[in-house]
Structure 1
Amino acid sequence: MPTTNPLMLQETREAPQVVERLLRENAPLVQDLIREVRSRDPLHVVTVARGSSDHACTVLKYAIEASLGLSVGSAAPSVHTLYGRSLRLERALVLAVSQSGASPDVVESVTRARACGALTVAFVNQEDSDLARAAEFVLPLRAGTEQAVAATKSYLASLAAGLQLVAALADDRTLSGALEVLPDTLAATLLLEDVASERAERYRYAETMVVLGRGAHFGVALESALKLKETSGLMAEAYSAAEFLHGPVRVVEAGFPILALQARDETAASTADAYRALSEKAVELLLVGAEAPLPAPLRLITPASGHGWTDTLPSALSVYLLAGHLALARGLDPDAPPSLRKVTLTR
């Protein structure tokens, strides 16, 4: 019989404390890193990650490109580990994100990047890990032990740590201010747990779902779809709200469940238009994030954080609550998903 208070939800509820501790304790480390970044003046950024960590990097890609004007690419670790090639990354800022810091392919990618002159940074929860030793700089996630297979607090910590770096590099006072109150914003988001549980009941018999978002919230869409797969075995797929209308919309028919992530940034108008068009097909929209004038029968509206980048954290947190309670509604244990384990070592 599955627990009624799974570790996944317990760890999700730790998010405000994790983020507060991270922002406070990482502040001097960020300042040291900024001096090095400005001294070496990288021309581009490369991220190295897998799974939830890679979804965090997708959010950070938008934040870095829009705030700093540096192009961001996602590394393919198998280029190093399977194809045996090294990349020319001497003027790159390489950001590796990992909860465990143990996956050999991520470690190898960072080791080779550093050897060729890249400025390497590890966002990692395990500070004594191989990844932490491989990187030149380490920004700890400070999430404490994460036992649930489905990562929650470490994903949110990855976003907070990356955005703290972006805010400092861009000298963005609005973003810095949003980060200061982010723990309170996340605490307010946790008050939505009963609403999330009620919304989850609607989908206890669902077999498929599409998750849509755009811009930074596309990274949240990817993460949301993964969590729905991991915890409930739901065949959930994430798409850009713009790209979905270019072909995948063909699968939609009346009653099709769509989790629609709505941001409070420059993407808001375009995503609202896309969701309005989908509503005309009589799909069932669950609107998550910002409010929007849409005929969505279900809503999970999150508190505004004060900046579009930081709004991604309450959006993701609310979906974690939804996913955890959906698994419980389906009689499943989100802490014991078949065929999965906490750390996957990829070579």
Structure 2
Amino acid sequence: MSEAAVKQPGALMAAESAQALEVFGRAAATDLAARLASLAPGRLRAFYTVARGSSDAAANVLSYEIMRETGLPVTSLPPSVFSIGEGVDLAGCGVIVISQSGGSNDLVRAARGAKARGATVIAITNAPDSPVEAEADVTLPIDAGEERAVPATKTVVGAIGTGMALLSALVPGYAARARASARAVSNGSTGLAAAGDIRSVLLRAQHVYVIGRDTGYGAAQEVALKLKECCALHAEAYSASEVLHGPLQLVTKPLTVLILDTGAPEIQESLDTAEARLREGRATVIRIRPSDAGFAGLTPAAAAAVLLAILYPVVLDTALALGHDPDAPDTLSKVTRTT
């Protein structure tokens, strides 16, 4: 891409998000069995994820997939447990650190501290030889290529794909489904018939709920973050069950709701219930499925990745229509260094 083209608002995000499906397909199909031979689930008692921002949303997607396939508990571990605290006992646990840059101080300290407290640390990053990788026992590159836009896109779906490759190495019976999903995603496109309708609704929105369940909840977290990051639009992510508690009261005021439906049969009842309750109020509700863009037969994590890939262009177009340059939001930088 020429430097003149790069200077056009949103040009970087457009080019990078257009690579998301290809990056995912390549990552999810990677054979990591030899590299991860020492990490059989029988040798581990739990997994923890350590991440921030979009990487944390990707970690949430993966946590549901890993729990379902391994039967082991997976939960998020705040980096501050190690960066400002004394840490916790992690003997016999796997700790998955996800970071596009691999450079944030708190993640580096968390990786170092987790290893010191007995964990096997697995780093998923898009930055070779990063500080996080230096602290890890195993490094799994996303291999998405350079990402210059501030909003992460292809590296987010790439991290999900890399996590699926990790799971394939741990659970051989999962590998065939992961590879089939990788092929289906690689052969698909991000064309979404309802993209214009979603954009029109978002342009009128003041407050947005993004709803999901299981892996779709992780996708909802990422879409809500992107609406804030790119569009300066107030958005919150909720699970389809949690939204029926206190947050439901906001339907008494104008509210826009995006429901991210991975298509998994076991989540349909809860999504249907949430949709019905939200429509009873003043909410404008749109439900989005991978099948809307022609995808089928995906694992739940792959379906969540596809939902992100097909919604990134919608977020981009909405941001541009609102007068924002999503490549360079006013208050943000590409690498966020936290402690």
TM-score (norm 2): 0.91
Distance 2:299 2:124 in 1: 22
Q: Which residue of 2 is the match for residue 322 of structure 1?
A: 314
Q: Supply the AA of the counterpart residue of 2:50.
A: V
- Relative to structure 1, the CA distance from residue 187 to residue 240 in structure 2 (aligned partners, 3 Å threshold; closer, same or farther) is same
Runs of 4+ in 1 over 4 A off after TM superposition: none
Q: Which residue of 2 is the match for residue 345 of structure 1?
A: 337
Q: Which residue of 2 is the match for residue 159 of structure 1?
A: 160
Range 137-146 or range 35-44, more displaced: 35-44
Does structure 1 retain, via aligned residues, the 8 Å contact 2:111–2:136? yes
- Relative to structure 1, the CA distance from residue 283 to residue 113 in structure 2 (aligned partners, 3 Å threshold; closer, same or farther) is same
Range 92-101 or range 322-331, more displaced: 322-331
Using the TM superposition, give the Cα deviation of residue 328 of structure 1 relative to its aligned residue in structure 2, in angstroms: 1.3
- Residues 113-134 of structure 1, C-alpha deviations (whole Å, 9 max, x = no match): 2223311110010011011111
Does structure 2 retain, via aligned residues, the 8 Å contact 1:197–1:321? no
Q: Supply the AA of the counterpart residue of 1:161.
A: T
Match of 2:189, SS state, is helix
Does structure 2 retain, via aligned residues, the 8 Å contact 1:302–1:315? no
Q: Which residue of 2 is the match for residue 286 of structure 1?
A: 286
Q: Supply the AA of the counterpart residue of 2:21.
A: P
Match of 1:19, SS state, is helix
Which ranges of structure 1 fall in alignment gaps of 5 or more residues? 292-299
Q: Which residue of 1 is the match for residue 81 of structure 2?
A: 79
Q: Which residue of 1 is the match for residue 177 of structure 2?
A: 177
Does structure 2 retain, via aligned residues, the 8 Å contact 1:17–1:183? no
User: Residues 36-55 of structure 1 correspond to what in structure 2 (within 5 A)?
Assistant: 36-38=38-40, 41-55=43-57
Q: Supply the AA of the counterpart residue of 2:163.
A: G
Does structure 1 retain, via aligned residues, the 8 Å contact 2:21–2:306? no
Q: Which residue of 1 is the match for residue 15 of structure 2?
A: 10
- Relative to structure 1, the CA distance from residue 86 to residue 185 in structure 2 (aligned partners, 3 Å threshold; closer, same or farther) is closer
Using the TM superposition, give the Cα deviation of residue 277 of structure 1 relative to its aligned residue in structure 2, in angstroms: 2.3
- Relative to structure 1, the CA distance from residue 337 to residue 4 in structure 2 (aligned partners, 3 Å threshold; closer, same or farther) is closer
Using the TM superposition, give the Cα deviation of residue 221 of structure 1 relative to its aligned residue in structure 2, in angstroms: 0.5
Using the TM superposition, give the Cα deviation of residue 282 of structure 1 relative to its aligned residue in structure 2, in angstroms: 4.5
Q: Supply the AA of the counterpart residue of 1:86.
A: G
Q: Which residue of 2 is the match for residue 215 of structure 1?
A: 214
Q: Which residue of 2 is the match for residue 124 of structure 1?
A: 125
TM-score (norm 1): 0.89
Does structure 2 retain, via aligned residues, the 8 Å contact 1:226–1:236? yes
Q: Which residue of 1 is the match for residue 260 of structure 2?
A: 261
Distance 2:278 2:14 in 1: 31
Match of 2:287, SS state, is strand
Match of 1:93, SS state, is strand
Does structure 1 retain, via aligned residues, the 8 Å contact 2:13–2:327? yes
Distance 2:177 2:84 in 1: 44
Using the TM superposition, give the Cα deviation of residue 303 of structure 1 relative to its aligned residue in structure 2, in angstroms: 1.7
Q: Supply the AA of the counterpart residue of 1:240.
A: S
Distance 2:230 2:23 in 1: 22
- Relative to structure 1, the CA distance from residue 23 to residue 264 in structure 2 (aligned partners, 3 Å threshold; closer, same or farther) is closer
Distance 2:206 2:238 in 1: 17
Using the TM superposition, give the Cα deviation of residue 279 of structure 1 relative to its aligned residue in structure 2, in angstroms: 1.8
Distance 2:297 2:115 in 1: 36
- Residues 4-34 of structure 1, C-alpha deviations (whole Å, 9 max, x = no match): 652112101111332243345x41xx21343
Match of 1:304, SS state, is coil
Using the TM superposition, give the Cα deviation of residue 184 of structure 1 relative to its aligned residue in structure 2, in angstroms: 4.0
Using the TM superposition, give the Cα deviation of residue 306 of structure 1 relative to its aligned residue in structure 2, in angstroms: 2.7
Q: Which residue of 2 is the match for residue 21 of structure 1?
A: 26
